[in-house]
């Protein structure tokens, strides 16, 4: 049995992104794609660069390289992953009630570039999408929302599968800065470190904030807190603004 970076066993060198886990129409949600892909590197923190969107219901190849692993569609590289290390101090966790109040101010309820997104799409109902609706926390530079993962994203033991921890960390960061008119926001790079497990049915809080913005690039961070307000996962993301109409034609 071949082992990947950090000792991961390559039990299956392909992955398929089910249509349930869409982001832009016809493509996988960036955070979910990263989460699935990250499982081929057995280190606490993984960095992933998304080069092209991953198609749905398509067998994609995972191939090991000197630096890490790559994800391919018919020989075309879609993403690159490697082990990483980073230090990021999360902010204090808002109360669950504060997160609920912030979620009511989620701007995606009014206008959303991908309303069927598995993570933050308002057109996805309970038990279908993750319903991560992060809105501004009054008196701070944060956005936040509650998140109660359901049984469909948990393993047989009841803990949320790691790819869904990555997934939940994705979209809140894209709501930490204003949406440019006529443009959509997509994930370009993602680094995540996982610190512990989260149980299905647990009352969690997601918090995100912007670190810096440079033209089309926006650097953000997201933290996932458990019921006890312990940080279970943290992520650094680079989002890109792209012409919205181009994605709608995809």
Tens digits of residue pLDDT in 167-213: 999 999 999 999 888 889 999 999 999 999 999 999 999 999 999 98
Q: In what order do the strands lie in the sheet with 76-83?
A: 14-16, 59-64, 69-73, 76-83, 45-50, 183-194, 231-243, 217-225, 204-214, 142-147, 135-136
pTM, to two decimals = 0.93
Whether residue 6 has pLDDT greater than 60? no
Using alpha carbons only, give the angle 157, 159, 165 rounded to the nearest 5 degrees: 150
Determine the length of the chain: 250
Strand 217-225 with 231-243, pairing: antiparallel
pLDDT the model gives residue 247: 61
Which homologous superfamily is 5-83 in? Hotdog Thioesterase (3.10.129.10)
Whether residue 7 has pLDDT greater than 50? no
| Cα(180)–Cα(195) distance, integer angstroms | 34
Q: What mean pLDDT comes out for the span 103-130?
A: 95
Please give the structure tokens belonging to residue 125: 């109902």
DSSP one-letter code for 44: S
Residue carrying structure tokens 């995972």: 62
Largest CA distance in the chain: 53
Q: What is the CA radius of gyration of the chain?
A: 17
Residues of the chain with pLDDT > 90: what percent?
84
Domain ranges of the chain: 5-83, 96-248
Domains 5-83 and 96-248 share a fold: yes
CATH placement of domain 96-248: 3.10.129.10
Residue 143 confidence class, pLDDT cut points 50, 70, 90:
very high
């Amino acid at each position: 049995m071949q082992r990947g970076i950090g000792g991961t066993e390559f039990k299956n060198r392909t992955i398929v992104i089910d249509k349930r886990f869409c982001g832009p129409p016809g493509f996988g949600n960036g955070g979910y794609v990263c989460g699935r892909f990250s499982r081929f590197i057995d280190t606490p923190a993984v960095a992933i660069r998304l080069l092209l969107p991953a198609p749905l219901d398509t067998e994609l190849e995972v191939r090991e390289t000197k630096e890490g692993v790559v994800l391919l569609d018919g020989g075309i590289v879609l993403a690159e992953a490697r082990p990483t290390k980073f230090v990021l101090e999360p902010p204090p966790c808002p109360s669950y009630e504060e997160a609920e109040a912030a979620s009511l101010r989620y701007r995606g309820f009014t206008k959303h570039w991908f309303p069927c997104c598995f993570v933050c799409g308002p057109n996805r109902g309970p038990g279908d999408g993750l319903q991560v609706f992060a809105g501004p926390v009054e008196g701070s530079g944060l956005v936040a929302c509650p998140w109660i993962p359901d049984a469909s994203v948990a393993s047989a033991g009841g803990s949320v599968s790691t790819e869904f921890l990555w997934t939940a960390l994705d979209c809140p960061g894209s709501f930490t800065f204003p949406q440019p008119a006529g443009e959509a926001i997509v994930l370009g790079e993602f680094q995540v470190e996982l610190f512990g497990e989260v149980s299905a049915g647990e009352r969690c809080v997601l918090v995100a904030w912007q670190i810096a913005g440079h033209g089309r690039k926006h650097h953000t961070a997201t933290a996932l807190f458990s019921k006890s307000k312990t940080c279970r996962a943290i992520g650094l993301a680079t989002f890109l603004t792209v012409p919205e109409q181009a994605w709608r034609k995809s």
